[in-house]
Amino acid sequence: MAAGSMNLVGRAGAGPREAAVWSRRQVLLTDLRSVRGRAYPRVIGMMREPSWVMFEILLPFLATSAFVFVYRALQAPQEYVGFVVLGGALTAFWINVIWMMANQLYWEKSQGNLELYFAAPMHFMSILFGMAIGGIVMSSTRAATVLVIAGLVYGVTFTVDEWALLFGVFLLTLGALYGLGMVLASLFLVWGREAWHMGQLLTEPVYFVSGLNFPVARLGMLGALSVAFIPLATGLDAMRQLAFAGAAFPYGTPSPAVEVAILAAMTVVSIVGARWMLKAMERRARRDGRLSVRWQ
Amino acid sequence: MSALTPAARDGSATAATFDLARTRGRGFSDTLRTFAVSTRLGWQLEANWTDPLLFFIYSIAKPVSSALILVVMLEVIGGPASRSFRPFVVVGSALWSFVVSGIAGLAWAILEDRERYRVLKYVYVSPSDFLTVLVGRGVARIAVGLAGVVITLAFGVVALGVTFDVGRIDWPLLVSTSIVGLVVIIALGLLMAGVCIQTRQESWSYPEAFAGALFLVTGAIFPLTVLPGPIQAVGLLTPLTWWMAGIREALFPGGPDSIGGAGSTFAAWFGHLHPTAGETVLALLATGAVATLAALAIFRLSDRRAKRAGLYDRTTGS
């Protein structure tokens, strides 16, 4: 029986009941391992199938180029080309948030993994953090490549006075974006089959209201609302102001310092919201017993 | 070793026999039935479960937003002077949503059946022709894409001030380019389906990425003349370039041209500034035939490799 217990729980002399009582250290280490475990397939998967280089970097670069040529056709000032390039780089994160964060739990449910996540002895937030870290690594590669290649090919000159602030804005934008992705992951799971179309609804329409290829201030009140509530719009506007300091384009939006505060608030609210959503989802799952029913 | 029972061999009974003719199917009528069933299935998967109003919003939000992005870009730089260019970008972005729907529809059918519903291998070994099933599954998304085109054009006329006169439409040019263009888009979808058979779950974004790359060379949202010469040449060899030019010319005769113009590669090759309607249709037919045959060949190659490597059985996940 003692040997059986050891095999069962991996610790000599501990019964299942004792083994279920974990120290804080054990909990933390298991959660950290879960973060690494969920990030692993995303990071390693990049090396295992090189086709992503073509489809995730080269072709999106060409799509970004199309908008560069619209401005060239209009003989726009060079900084507008820079806007497009910066916007094109940031779309990598937004696409990742929508399709590989927000939609992911719904996918996991369809594939039968979700119940395994719930049954595993870890906090579900570690799965979401793992997805986010893996996604950030994947998207950063694409974003950096688009930024460097497009910057060189189209001769974009960045005029940065405050590098530290720019880097801080970038990190906060990632925090707010992936925090939003964590909230949406639970929401999309509840919405079920609507998730796919919600993903579609959150791409081009969000690009438009976020001013992906033009200064968001041109949208007036709609642009102001975007800056207040959509991290892509806030981060993009703040980064444009910092990366093209002194450029002649309509501002009309808050200063980068204010946008930093908005992004920080978004990050905190979204992570707390994601935690709350997960708890609500678990409650609902227990009540309805339908959470792991596939294809609904 | 006969497939017939002894009773059947001596003619005393017809029951319990294996009719070899049944394995050959009923030819074209079977193909039609397969197409109809897979089209219906595609539509049910796409739309039967949602609220019609929500589905309508989903279907038009993307193309309308794409058009709005371009219209604001024009306004930011050109102001009121750029409004003559609006029909050009509205038609281009509306048609492009149709291209994306068509290309993605077939590729996503492969990914949905393999990764999500895990029935691809069963569909493949069923007596239905796989190619017909695939095209049928893609039709629903093409239909949704077509609705997006019509609504975006209507939105352009009503909300964005695009001047449109139904009486001026060049119907023969519109019909001929539409039919050939549809075939080409389905062929490109087949090409991406062939690619997605070989790749893994994350291929969901591949069709859009492929379409995004074509966006650059087809003159969808800006005239080809702003591109470097070699890229203009790639554009002229792409059937979608001619399809877009044909539809534009049919809907807005005499409007801005995406192919020709002073200093364009077209002008250098053909000796005049703008393609005529006949040239547009001929070029679409020629480039479309090459693209369609190439797409079919690539799909067949991918199909053979998938059978050898067991890729129809495979589900991935990350």
Q: Bridge-partner residues for A244, per DSSP? A: A159
Average pLDDT over residues B170-175: 95
Is A295 a domain residue?
no
pTM passes above 0.90: no
Is A193 a domain residue?
yes
A107, A205, A214 ranked by CB distance to B65: nearest: A205
Is A195 a domain residue?
yes
Which candidate in B44, B222, B240, B244 is best for mutational testing of the A interface (most A CBs within 10 A)? B222
Top mean-pLDDT range of B71-85, B113-127, B275-289: B275-289
> What is the distance between the alpha carbons of residues A201 and B57, in angstroms, rounded to a whole number?
8
- In this complex, do B73 and A214 lie within 8 Å of one another by their Cβ atoms? yes
- In this complex, do B222 and A66 lie within 8 Å of one another by their Cβ atoms? yes
Which candidate in B204, B214, B318 is best for mutational testing of the A interface (most A CBs within 10 A)? B318
Task: Establish whether this prediction's ipTM goes over 0.85.
Answer: no
Average pLDDT over residues B39-62: 80
Task: Please say if the pLDDT value at position A253 is more than 60.
Answer: yes
Is B196 a domain residue?
yes
pLDDT tens, residue by residue, B272-306: 999 999 999 999 999 999 999 999 999 999 999 99
Is A18 a domain residue?
no
Half-sphere exposure in the Cβ direction for B135 (13 Å, CA): 20
pLDDT tens, residue by residue, B132-159: 999 998 888 888 888 889 989 999 999 8
Residues of chain A with Cβ-Cβ distance to B62 below 8 Å are 200-201, 203-205
Residue with tokens 């119940």: A115
Is A13 a domain residue?
no
Instruction: Work out the percent of chain B whose per-residue pLDDT is above 90.
Output: 43
The residue segments making up the domain with residue B227 are 26-309
Structural domain count, chain A: 1
> Do the beta carbons of residue B274 and residue B280 sit within 8 Å?
no
- Please state the separation of Cα A9 from the chain's center in Å: 36
Is B289 a domain residue?
yes
Residues of chain B with Cβ-Cβ distance to A67 below 8 Å are 73, 221
- Please state the separation of Cα B13 from the chain's center in Å: 52
Half-sphere exposure in the Cβ direction for B132 (13 Å, CA): 15
How many helices and strands in chain B, by DSSP H and E? 13, 0
Measured in degrees and rounded to the nearest 5, phi and psi for residue B16 equal: 55, 35
A58, A69, A71 ranked by CB distance to B77: nearest: A71
Which residue in B has a C-alpha nearest to residue A81's C-alpha? B73
B77, B115, B116 ranked by CB distance to A74: nearest: B77
Is A77 a domain residue?
yes
Residue with tokens 């949503």: B97
> What is the distance between the alpha carbons of residues B244 and B240, in angstroms, rounded to a whole number?
6
* Three-state SS at B153: helix
Q: Which of these, A143, A192, A113, lies nearest to B201 by C-alpha position?
A: A113
pLDDT tens, residue by residue, A59-107: 778 888 889 998 888 888 888 899 899 998 998 899 889 888 888 888 7
CA dihedral B207, B213, B215, B219 (to 10 degrees): -150
Q: What's the pLDDT at A8?
A: 47
The residue segments making up the domain with residue A283 are 24-288
Structural domain count, chain B: 1
Is A293 a domain residue?
no
Which residue in A has a C-alpha nearest to residue B67's C-alpha? A208
Q: Bridge-partner residues for A159, per DSSP? A: A244
Is B94 a domain residue?
yes
Is A159 a domain residue?
yes
Instruction: Output the CA angle A101-B207-B314, nearest 5 degrees.
Output: 70
Task: Please say if the pLDDT value at position B53 is more than 70.
Answer: yes
